[in-house]
Amino acid sequence: MQLAKGKPSAGAFFDSDFSTIDSVLAVAVLFGMQGKNDCRVNILTMSRPNLAIAGFADAVERFYKGPAGNFSQVPPIGMRTEGAAGETSPAFTVPFQKKNADGKPVYTNQVKTVIETGDPNTLIRNYLEAQYDQNAFFVLGGPATNLAAALDFAGIPDLIAEKIKYLVISASDARINADIAAARKVFAEWPTPIVVCGHEIGANLPFPGASIDKEFAEAVHDNPIADAYRAYQTMPYDAPSGDLAASLYAGRPQEGYFKLSGNGTISVGGDGRTAFTASAAGKHQYLIFDPGQKDKILKTYVELASAKPAPPKRFKADAAVDEKPEEKPKQETPPPK
């Protein structure tokens, strides 16, 4: 049911196993785009039961969203409770050791037990119900486990078809192999278009690590993203950016950062190998790296990921069009059909 003529910016949903710093940066970029009114970050869900990482993701979410305020809320991190917790990078724990001048922790971990997290399916359903039709996108930066489960959850497939314009998958062999059955299911049953950001995209667009001590530090003194980046690996380093690229494309498909392949259908074999069958009616496409856009993309990465937290613009149905902060440049790449 829709009551208004206009729509707010697109609702963003992000799911990951948070096994790389790339996923963390992707969250920062999504929130950076929220500050530019390109999207509204709804929920973060994770596909492995790791409370330490859930605690960090929750701290990041609160960093950007602030405490629950009037008529607003900070949703819990959706966390799968089955499966293995897996490895926990220092990126997710070291930031909590940081103290301010008074000796108090800069970031607080509010996720001590599974109670402080939410069931991913329930969260996905609840937050999809709050989206306008075809005005949300999903970014997958990990194994497809949660998304496959969501496709089996009563009501969610219909909501996806109704609300989600497209799913952008930051894919790699490792992620597909981590849950082949889930990947097969998602490619076979996801009701709306899927755009795949292959591993080579992220490899071609290494995130400029030098920005952590420059742009990030200039924007906000204590930023959990920057602190996680420093703890993830010995500095300086430039991190591959597949999840970043997927998120950037999802939030700004019109910007022409990437080219798109023709339409077709991607299938996943029992051994995890993918095959693409071209067809005009196919709902799947690949992102294609455009070397001419590299500098622009890297600059945008830094600008968005280091941006100060900014709440989503308050949406007034009749004034939604006027709320866009700036005119968009001419469309160079069409969004997926």
Partner 1 sequence: MITKKTLPRRTFLRGVGSAAIALPFMDAMAPALKASTIPGGAPVRMAFFYVPNGMIMDSWNPSYEGKFQELPRSLKSLEPFKDDILQISNLTHNTGRALLDGPGDHGRCCGSYLTGVQVKKSLTEIKASVSFDQIVANEVGGQTRFPSLELGMEDARQAGDCDSGYSCAYTNNLAWRGESQPLPPMLDPRALFERLFGTGQPMTKEERARQAIYRRSILDFVTESTHKLESSLGPTDRRKLDEYLSAIRQVELQLERAEKDTRPIEPGMDKPYGIPADFSEHFKLMSDMVTIAFQADQTRIVTFLMTREGSSRPYRELDIPDGHHPLTHHRNLPDLMEKVRKINEYHVRQFAGFIEKMKATKEGDGTLLDNSMIVYGAGLSDGNAHLHEDLPTIIAGKGGNYFKTGRRVVVRRETPMCNLFLTMMDRMGVHTEKFGDSTGRLQGLDLG
Closest approach of Cβ 157 to partner 1, in Å?
15
Binds partner 1 by CB under 8 A, chosen from 23, 45, 121, 293: 121
Cα 137 to Cα 126: distance, rounded to the nearest angstrom: 15
Question: Which among 82-90, 128-136, 241-249, 260-268 is the span making contact with partner 1, rule CB under 8 A?
Answer: 128-136
Residue from the set 130, 181, 203, 319 that interacts with partner 1 by CB under 8 A: 130
- Cβ atoms within 10 A of the Cβ of 259, count? 15
Q: Which of residues 57-116 bind partner 1 (CB under 8 A)?
A: 68-73, 75-76, 114-116
Binding-site size for partner 1 (CB under 8 A) equals 28
Does 50 contact partner 1 by CB under 8 A?
no
Quick one: 164 or 245, whose CB is closer to partner 1?
A: 164
Among 22, 38, 61, 119, binds partner 1 (CB under 8 A): 119
Nearest to 241 by CA among 331, 147, 305: 305
Helix axes 242-251, 294-305, angle to 10 degrees: 90
Q: Which residues are bridge partners to 79 per DSSP?
A: 46
Work out how close the CB of 46 gets to partner 1 at its nearest, in angstroms, rounded to a whole number: 14
Contact 250, 170 (CB under 8 A): no
Whether residue 29 contacts residue 304, with contact meaning beta carbons closer than 8 Å, is answered with yes
β-partners of residue 46 are: 16, 79
Select 11 or 95, whichever has its Cβ closest to partner 1: 11
Instruction: Select 318 or 327, whichever has its Cβ closest to partner 1.
Output: 318
Q: Is there a cis peptide before residue 236, judged by omega within 30 degrees of 0?
A: yes
Rounded-to-integer distance, Cα 308 and Cα 220, Å: 6
Nearer to partner 1, 85 or 203 (CB): 85
Taking the C-alpha atoms of residue 95 and residue 227, their distance in angstroms, rounded to an integer, is 6
Residue nearer to partner 1 on the CB measure, 128 or 304: 128
Q: What are the residues binding partner 1 (CB under 8 A)?
A: 1-3, 68-73, 75-76, 114-119, 121-123, 125-126, 129-132, 154, 317
